[in-house]
Amino acid sequence: MRIGIGFDIHRLVEGKSLTLGGVKIPSTKGLLGHSDGDVLLHALCDALLGAVGAGDIGAYFPDTDPKWKGASSQLFIEKAAELASRKSLRVENVDAVILTEEPKLAPHRNAIQRSISQMLHVKDDRINVKAKTMEKLGPIGEGEAMACYVVVLLEKE
């Protein structure tokens, strides 16, 4: 078995769409990033790459490369999953914690989990997504940013 951990944080800005786990979430603010800014998929990508021992997201999708400007983070997950597959590793489970004050994510939890399970070609019950507030503390608590931690367990096929 191989374990990986990922983390990402992005600034929230007015007038940008919000995508989490590949799912569009209704919100007045979205995540600022070189790609689509999906903090959940960015953290998941880093967790997958870490479990495989293949570096981090910046090594494959640098924010200095115009090729990735506005790109769907699903492409990043596909690449990381492909690297795992080449090493005969499959996803056993994913556990994620999204840190945000707004919007409330409970109504979107199942759709996000389903989206990630489809990207990784695993059953929905292998994906767990939680959302926590920061109790109004710091930039996340003040609604200026959103962050995510992800842990992934890979198992030899």
The tokens of 17 are what? Answer: 């769409």
Window from 60-69, 113-122, 143-152 with minimum mean pLDDT: 60-69
The tokens of 79 are what? Answer: 């690449």
Mean pLDDT rounded to a whole number for the chain: 95
For the chain, the structural domain boundaries read: 2-156
Report the share of the chain in percent with pLDDT over 70: 100
Model pTM above 0.85:
yes
**More reliable by pLDDT, 121 or 34:** 121
Q: What is the mean pLDDT of residues 41-46?
A: 97
Closest CA to 115 of 94, 140, 90: 94
For residue 131, count other CB atoms closer than 10 A to its CB.
Answer: 20
* pLDDT confidence bin for 71, thresholds 50/70/90: confident
Distance CA 142, CA 127 (A): 28
Q: What is the mean pLDDT of residues 15-40?
A: 95
Distance CA 118, CA 123 (A): 8
Task: Kindly report the CATH number that applies to the domain delimited by 2-156.
Answer: 3.30.1330.50
